[in-house]
Structure 1
Amino acid sequence: MEHPTNSRKKTNLTNDQRQSIYQMLLQQSVNGKLKSETTRDVATLFSVSTRTISRIWHDVKLQLQHGSVVDVSSKRANVIRRKRIQIDLTQVSQIPLRRRTTIRSLAKAINVSKTTMHRRIKEGVLRPHTNAIKPDLTDENKKARLVFCLSTVTRSLSNASPIFHDMFNVIHIDEKWFYLSKPSKRYYLVPNEDEPFRTCKSKKFITKVMFLAAVARPRYDSSGNEVFSGKIGIFPFTTLEPAKRSSKNRAAGTLVTKPILSVTKEVTRSWLIKKVLPAIRSIWPRDHTGPIFIQQDNAKPHIDVNDVEFNHEASKDGFDILLCFQPPNSPDLNVLDLGFFRAIQSLQEQEVLGSIDELISAVKSSFERMPSYELNKVFLTLQTCMKEIMKVRGGNNYKIPHIGKGKLERQGNLPLQIECDENLMYEALAYLAQ
């Protein structure tokens, strides 16, 4: 049976410790020999294995036999380690971006191993970056974006600097496809766990449903309690149709949920009138005065702001609800595209789904589970984006700024509105006047 001292974790002894071991062994040796208990006791004292003690004593005896001065210093300082391979960042920056999309291609371009490249990335010498394509903006698009951002800037009696509007009277609507499953999904498995096996006749046939979402900015009282969540609703574009034939799942004539795959102006108008408007009337804060604007993008299925049928329904029950368009090619000016849809989708994809009804239920559940304070943060992000848009004269070549909203919220300092520099506003107006 192996002695307990031999199973100790290996310890690198200092030169002073090695010298002390040598002196102790020398004092207890008899005619150049050691007793087994001596080696064991010294090993226990210094928390090393008996082999380490024996090796030191063996080196001492060899040096004495050759008449050398006894030196028990560690030899680790003389070990030649593998030379670190440096990466010339100047050389990397000169390589075309199309050859810097994978670790393998970049490593080949600068003639280093893939492992070396991976280590440098892990150390932070190089940083990975995911790049998304943004809409191509015309000069007219940029001007429209700039005008839109300037129209939301106002002045407050309590604030000398211009600030962005609180946006409490604006409802953002947009459509999004939600899928029953993704063609490619990432899982994290333990070493011996079986890999999941998923099948489908074709990627084209993955079940999907389009949803119309409507959200406004949440409201809180003076104590920070929520009085309005801002979540108007999320409505699937589906119909109920009787099954044409019997199957193992249902009898003929049973009502089955079917997705509407082609959403037209007529369908959009119907959903706004029959679903969105009633939802607004039922939950909108009663103390609100003035018009309510429903902001939509410029997609073809969206109805015109002067649509007679919609305007007639929108003016009922004492409400003054109006449609308005956001600038063309500007998903960054809608809170749903800016972040809320992604948050809902991340929750929905955690569910195991097997039918359209389960997908609809999961999306609605994810919509309701999303905390209202997260929606409020997206409205603040929208204001910071407007500020950046003004800086780049209506363009979209900017990074979404981070102001530490979570930290500010924990400290109770989360602003209601973002300030806009007065010089920035005048510069934007001067640019439009040119």
Structure 2
Amino acid sequence: MAHPFDLNVRLEEDAVYGFDLNLPLNEFGAVDLDWLQNMPERRVDAPVEGNQRRRDCPDHVRQQVYQALLQRSKNGKLGKKDTTIVSQQFGVKLQTVQRIWRQGKKQLAQNIPVKVPNLKKCRSGRKPIPIDLEKLSEIPLKKRMTIEDVSRELGISKSRIQRYLRKGLIRRHSSSIKPYLTEDNRKARLKWCIDMIEEGGLDAPKFKDLFDFVFIDEKWFYLHQKSERYYLLPCEDEPHRTCKNKNYIPRIMFLCVVARPRFRDGVCVFDGKIGCFPLVTIEQAVRRSRNRMRGAQAFLEYCPKRANRMFVTLQTVLKEAMKIKGGNKIKIPHMQKQRLEREDMLPLQIPCEPSLLAEAISSLPAN
């Protein structure tokens, strides 16, 4: 006779009853099968209380709750069962309904529009651990060049550093090496800034509009980089590039001549592009990129409005250089030139304070 229970059979996860050694036995010492057959009938289904997280009441529902309370109120007072009825109507806790009503009455007393949003926003969750970010300024610059360096020096996680960056508590700065200026260099730069002031306007000085200036500059381009990355097939040979010296990589030069663009009634009548003279053979672009269309040159496609904004920026740089006596530690101020250009309010000339001009002139030698 086969035993009704097999220990080698795996019980199903959904099974309510498994093999229980405490089951009652019959008169022969075996498990009472009659009791097992009648056992499901004795089972009582009890409600299971789930530990579900309560959701906050949305703002539009809170506003509807307040409107319902306002309709049921008489002379600013609610009945004895009004909050309970509204609570059952919207499925909101009674304490929440009462809190919404108190919040609305407080705003009515102050004669302001009633808004009953959830005040829990931005105040819930784990409270941030305070940290003194002033310690960052005491760390040497060489030890805070990467997020990992800052994380190690401050003893906090890198993700926390990222959050501080997004909030603006820490800012990222790229420092570039600038030419060293002697005292003669600073005076020459300061004199050139003063020469850019219009003559005869000492009471209300302003910089020249630069319409009668031509700017010439050259630019070198390397034909190859010292290190280049390629994508190859697994069986493809790796390229072998050589040159006599890494400091003598072939390069080409372009000489560009530009002036300030001119506009008439918002229409460009002169784009300021006098010429771009490369010391190479001119060829059209083979492929299209996001910077230029195929068959076009980047110099010819440069936007005249963008070039015009550069001349306004140049005047602001001249003004900032005068403040530091011809130095080159300049922080270009932001004046929202694109917005001013859309509103047709972009100035042609930047004003200069008379006191700043007088101080700059006094800094130069008497001759």
**TM-score, normalization by structure 2:** 0.57
Deviation at 1:381, TM superposition (A): 0.7
Q: Which amino acid aligns with 1:119?
A: R
- SS for the counterpart of 2:206 is strand
Counterpart in the other structure of 1:70: none
Task: Give the whole-Å Cα distance in 2 for the aligned partners of 1:390 and 1:13.
Answer: 58
Q: Is the 8 A contact 1:146 1:389 kept in 2?
A: yes
Give the structure with the higher percent strand: 1
Task: Give the whole-Å Cα distance in 2 for the aligned partners of 1:401 and 1:120.
Answer: 24
Bigger Rg, structure 1 or 2 = 2
Give the structure with the higher percent helix: 1
- Gaps of at least 5 residues in structure 2 are 1-52, 62-89, 93-123, 233-237
Deviation at 1:160, TM superposition (A): 4.7
Deviation at 1:182, TM superposition (A): 6.3
Deviations 1:253-293, CA, capped at 9 Å, x for gaps: xxxx9xxxxxxxxxxxxxxxxxxxxxxxxxxxxxxxxxxxx
- SS for the counterpart of 1:161 is coil
Q: Is the 8 A contact 1:155 1:161 kept in 2?
A: no
Match of 1:233 among 271, 275, 280: 275
Deviations 1:96-143, CA, capped at 9 Å, x for gaps: 111111000111111122222222222222111111111111100000
Q: Which amino acid aligns with 2:146?
A: T
Counterpart in the other structure of 1:401: 333
Deviation at 1:416, TM superposition (A): 1.2
1:197 matched to 2:231: yes
**Residues 178-197 of structure 1 correspond to what in structure 2 (within 5 A)?**
178=221, 197=231
Task: Give the whole-Å Cα distance in 2 for the aligned partners of 1:224 and 1:210.
Answer: 35
Q: 1:181 and 1:406, CA in 2 relative to 1: closer, same or farther beyond 3 A?
A: farther
Q: 1:219 and 1:401, CA in 2 relative to 1: closer, same or farther beyond 3 A?
A: same
Task: Give the whole-Å Cα distance in 1 for the aligned partners of 2:355 and 2:174.
Answer: 33
Task: Give the whole-Å Cα distance in 1 for the aligned partners of 2:358 and 2:180.
Answer: 26
Counterpart in the other structure of 2:206: 163
Dislocated runs of 4+, deviation >4 Å: 80-83, 179-185, 202-208, 347-352
Task: Give the whole-Å Cα distance in 2 for the aligned partners of 1:424 and 1:13.
Answer: 59
- Gaps of at least 5 residues in structure 1 are 1-9, 18-44, 48-79, 186-194, 241-256, 258-346, 353-357
Q: Is the 8 A contact 1:180 1:206 kept in 2?
A: yes
Q: 1:178 and 1:196, CA in 2 relative to 1: closer, same or farther beyond 3 A?
A: same
**Residues 304-323 of structure 1 correspond to what in structure 2 (within 5 A)?**
none
Q: Which amino acid aligns with 1:212?
A: L
**Residues 201-212 of structure 1 correspond to what in structure 2 (within 5 A)?**
201-202=240-241, 208-212=251-255
Deviations 1:67-116, CA, capped at 9 Å, x for gaps: xxxxxxxxxxxxx9655343311211110111111000111111122222
Q: Is the 8 A contact 1:168 1:216 kept in 2?
A: yes
Deviations 1:382-406, CA, capped at 9 Å, x for gaps: 1111111111001011201222211
Task: Give the whole-Å Cα distance in 1 for the aligned partners of 2:251 and 2:91.
Answer: 68
Q: Is the 8 A contact 2:292 2:298 kept in 1?
A: no
Counterpart in the other structure of 1:423: 355
Q: 1:156 and 1:227, CA in 2 relative to 1: closer, same or farther beyond 3 A?
A: farther
Q: Is the 8 A contact 2:272 2:304 kept in 1?
A: yes
Counterpart in the other structure of 2:160: 116
Task: Give the whole-Å Cα distance in 2 for the aligned partners of 1:368 and 1:227.
Answer: 15
Counterpart in the other structure of 1:220: 263
Counterpart in the other structure of 1:152: 196
Q: 1:410 and 1:11, CA in 2 relative to 1: closer, same or farther beyond 3 A?
A: farther
**Residues 292-371 of structure 1 correspond to what in structure 2 (within 5 A)?**
350=291, 365-371=297-303
| Larger relative contact order (CA 8 Å, sep ≥ 6) | 1
Q: 1:160 and 1:226, CA in 2 relative to 1: closer, same or farther beyond 3 A?
A: farther
Deviation at 1:177, TM superposition (A): 2.6
Deviations 1:166-193, CA, capped at 9 Å, x for gaps: 21221111111345676789xxxxxxxx
Match of 1:126 among 151, 170, 177: 170
- SS for the counterpart of 1:238 is coil
Comparing 87-96 with 388-397, greater Cα deviation is found at 87-96
CA RMSD of aligned residues (A): 4.0
Over the matched positions of the two proteins, sequence identity in percent amounts to 40
